[in-house]
Amino acid sequence: MRLEYEIPPCSGRAIEVRRGQKIAVTDTEGGQVVDFFAEMAGDPDEFLSTGVTIDCNDSLRLRVGDRIYSNRYTPMFRVLSDDVGVHDLLHPCCRPEMYDFFYGNGAGHPNCHDTINACLKSRRPIIHPVNLFMNTQVAADGSCKVAAPLSKAGDTVVLLAEADVRLGVAACSVSESACNGGKCTGVLIAVED
């Protein structure tokens, strides 16, 4: 069985996923970042951790075969296939304070922090998602720069759920920088057995 969820620009949704199901995240138009977050079903205090994921994979990058871990070092997902191979594990969700800091326009701006919290009915003070398709370039001196995503229309990342989870997924709302190539578009999530 396959269920598809269209996520319009600057919005998100919660999706229940069972262990063993595959999650395909597709950038439908190209150049769109997807804030991908999850909590364990029945235990919102155990949730996706990019810091633990970096620690366990010994890398700032996700590769096919790598796992995405929870804050308790439990495997949550495994990367089965990836058309792009460039994603971000460093940046937290955009939020009103970020828009104020960089652009002076935080009041009323759609943002992934509030979107994911609303989807999951939570009040997390900060959310560190896997930013699928986000192209963060890290230099040898430690400086970093967000460049336009490399994803093209139809590019997909497929993950295997290794636990029962609730996804909180958002189509990133940043149009003010290269993050989404200067515009926000929708994405498609497909879950299948």
Per-residue pLDDT of the chain (193 residues; tens, 9 = 90+): 999 999 999 999 999 999 999 999 999 999 999 999 999 999 999 999 999 999 999 999 999 999 999 999 999 999 999 999 999 999 999 999 999 999 999 999 999 999 999 999 999 999 999 999 999 999 999 999 999 999 999 999 999 999 999 999 999 999 999 999 999 999 999 999 9
Nearest to 89 by CA among 124, 115, 40, 53: 53
Q: Are 119 and 127 in contact (CB under 8 A)?
A: no
Residue 98, pLDDT score: 96
Distance between CA atoms of residues 126 and 85, nearest Å: 25
What region does 140 belong to: left with phi over 0, alpha with psi -120 to 50, or beta?
alpha
Beta strands across the sheet bearing 22-27: 2-7, 187-192, 22-27, 155-161, 75-82, 67-69
pLDDT at 78: 98
pLDDT of residue 8: 98
Selection from 113, 33, 112, 40 nearest residue 70 by Cα: 40
Which of 159, 74, 83, 170 is closest to 131 using CA atoms?
170
- State the total domains in the chain: 1
Task: Please tell me the distance from the alpha carbon of residue 50 to that of residue 33, in angstroms, as a whole number.
Answer: 16
Spatial contact of 66 and 50, defined as CB atoms under 8 Å apart? no
Q: pTM (2 decimals)?
A: 0.97
Q: What is the pLDDT of residue 103?
A: 95
* Domain coverage including residue 90: 2-192
What pLDDT score does 192 carry? 98
What's the pLDDT score for residue 67?
98
